[in-house]
Amino acid sequence: MKIIFASAHDVDADSWIKPLQALVPQADIQQWSDDGSAIGAELAVVWNPPRDIFLRETGLQAVFNLGAGVDALFRLEGLNDDVPIVRLEDAGMSVQMAEYATYALLRASRQFDRYEGLQKQGIWEPLPDIQRGKWPVGVMGMGLMGARVAQTLASLDYPVAGWSRSGKDLPGIECFAGPAQLPAFLARTRVLINTLPLTSETHGILCRDTLGRLLPEAHLINVGRGDHLVEEDLLALLDSGHIHGATLDVFNQEPLPQGHAFWTHPRITVTPHVAAASLRETSIAQVAANINCYLRGEPLTGVVVRGRGY
Ligand code: NDP
Ligand code: OXD
């Protein structure tokens, strides 16, 4: 049984293939090559793979994604509707996401950004104490990433709400669900954290209409996908002052192009899609366990529901 390993990212493929091969010894795992030939793979292990992977490897029976978000796969030609797409389930990412969100929230709410400026000027000036009630947090997407983020911030006594497709019941978190409850969720939120998957329903969801409903002096933390955000709407709301700041990890175009307004905007913090990395050891162990289930004819975990897109 052949497995094709394909990553468009500049990764050392051997450092992924060798440990995976050790955990799935009965498979022949080969690295994608640009020479145009197919290896006749039954399975694919991918992260942002080359555009023609599904046109070339036409006998795939399942695709294992080395990340949580699968939107990039749906943009490729040749992906059959009946091939299961399996995504990473947490695999060490939710704790990183919680760290990232905590850092971004505290930088704004505890005014560490302002203290950085004061230090540069040599000014010793304690700013007013924090009032957590003035920093209601709203987490969009209450899956593996969002729930961990929401629970972490609630444990720091911030008022936290979550919004998802289906209703949730999480202690200490006010839960909203579906399009009908989105306006109420936004209206009580000052710090909006987006952990949604990118689907046809969520594309462009961070726009003038939704962001404009947030409480004044809002802060946006986008760790979902760049295409959730209408970039020019964010810039307009920053200009108007309705949004005070944004911490952005994901962008319409990655890498963020040189000269893009976000690079130098004084109230935008940019990170290069690193909020939560796929950790090699944990990710390989999870994918290998799933491939071994496949080989034994057992059910896989983390299979994307095609009709939902996540
Ligand atoms: P999950 O599938 O576990 O959770 C997705 C959540 O989004 C669910 O709560 C789901 O609702 C909700 N949701 C989906 N569609 C809608 C909708 N139309 N309206 C309201 N809620 C919706 O995914 P993960 O938490 O594992 O990952 C989420 C995303 O985070 C990934 O798809 C990826 O884009 C991003 N990500 C980014 C990383 C980074 O480094 N920047 C790293 C890892 C992930 P319900 O619970 O009802 O199904
Ligand atoms: C993911 C990511 O989806 O890293 O896993 O963005």
The alpha helices in 77-207, defined as continuous H runs, are 93-109, 112-120, 144-155, 178-187
Active site residue 306: no
Task: Pick from 140, 148, 196, 305 the residue to mutate for probing ligand 1's pocket: most ligand atoms within 8 Å of its CB.
Answer: 196
Return the residue matching tokens 């295409």. Answer: 227
Q: How many DSSP H helices and E strands does the chain contain?
A: 11, 12
Q: Ligand 1 center to residue 72 CA distance, Å?
A: 14
Which atom of ligand 1 has the smallest separation from the CA of 179?
19
The answer to whether residues 269 and 248 touch, using CB atoms and an 8 Å cutoff, is: yes
Peptide bond into 255 cis (omega under 30): yes
Q: What is the mean pLDDT of each run of 10 residues along the chain (310 residues)?
A: 89 92 97 93 96 96 98 96 97 98 98 97 97 98 98 98 97 98 98 98 98 98 98 98 98 98 98 97 98 97 97
Which atom of ligand 2 has the smallest separation from the CA of 65?
5
- Determine the pLDDT at residue 150: 98
Active site residue 273: yes
Q: Ligand 1 center to residue 87 CA distance, Å?
A: 11
pTM (2 d.p.):
0.98
Q: Ligand 2 center to residue 259 CA distance, Å?
A: 25
Q: How many CB atoms lie within 10 A of CB 109?
A: 19
Query: Percentages helix, strand, coil for the chain, rounded to the nearest 5?
Result: 35, 20, 45
* CATH superfamily name and code, 93-270: NAD(P)-binding Rossmann-like Domain (3.40.50.720)
- Determine the pLDDT at residue 11: 78
Return the residue matching tokens 């969009």. Answer: 140
> Residues of CATH 3.40.50.720 domain(s) within the chain?
2-91+278-296, 93-270
- Measuring from atom 38 of ligand 1, which residue has the nearest CA? 276
Fold of 2-91+278-296: Rossmann fold (3.40.50)
- Determine the pLDDT at residue 36: 84
